[in-house]
Amino acid sequence: MSGLRGLVLDFGGVILDMRWDAARALEERHGLPRHALVETLYRTATWREIECGRGDRQAWLDEAHGLLEARAGRPLPRLHDAWRGAQHPIAANVALVGALRPPYRTALLSNADVSLPGRLRAARLDALFDAVVCSAEVGIAKPDPAVYRLAAARLGLPPEACVFVDDAEPNVEAARAVGMTAIHYRVDRGDDLGAALAALGVRPSG
């Protein structure tokens, strides 16, 4: 085994398939511009507050819906709910993380609202992780260097002993800057996480 002993994973895009294809289908069906769903939900000043644990979650969701209707110029069904409902765990990655424990220690590091821990329990994914760092609970979000160091500390490891996996390049670059080995992973382009980790010497012991 290499000197890598910890695995720090993003949730949306690494453990959860964000279903960008479903988002695009909804946008096309309702005559919305491309990326309208993600931009109105996650590319706003309100979301930046929510992901750091400030503000009201339902008010954020209502605002996102209003922004979407403003783009459409007409009333719409709750399309963000439909998109989120289409998302599901990536079975291969869930199985991989389970197979890596032990000897590897695992953490989830997600820019997420306060509903994340409950979602993990409901999907029976919480047992996959030795630590869960939810940005809304700790008040720090990626790509702040402090949140990567916190995730490593909760595993009892230095950043240099951890591999970080995320679907957003800025978050990957920030992890590298604090000393982590990092992988930019995109399920929507067919990336194989098991192969990427194996190339670093991180593989199930069996």
The two tokens of residue 117 are 């821990």
Residues 13 and 35 in one domain: no
Residues 82 and 105 in one domain: no
Residues 96 and 179 in one domain: yes
pLDDT digits (tens, 9 = 90+) for 135-189: 999 999 999 999 999 999 999 999 999 999 999 999 999 999 999 999 999 999 9
Q: How confident is the model at residue 16 (pLDDT cuts 50, 70, 90)?
A: very high
Residue 126 lies in a domain: yes
Residues 60 and 115 in one domain: no
Q: Which of 86, 112, 136 is the last residue of a domain?
A: 86
Q: How many CB atoms lie within 10 A of CB 82?
A: 15
* Domain limits for position 124: 6-17+88-198
Q: Which of 50, 66, 86 is the last residue of a domain?
A: 86
Q: What's the CATH code of the domain at 172?
A: 3.40.50.1000
N residues, the chain:
206
Return phi, psi of residue 97, to 5°.
-60, -40
- Chain centroid to Cα 168, Å, comes to 9
Residue 143 lies in a domain: yes
pLDDT of residue 2: 67
Residues 50 and 33 in one domain: yes
Residues 96 and 175 in one domain: yes
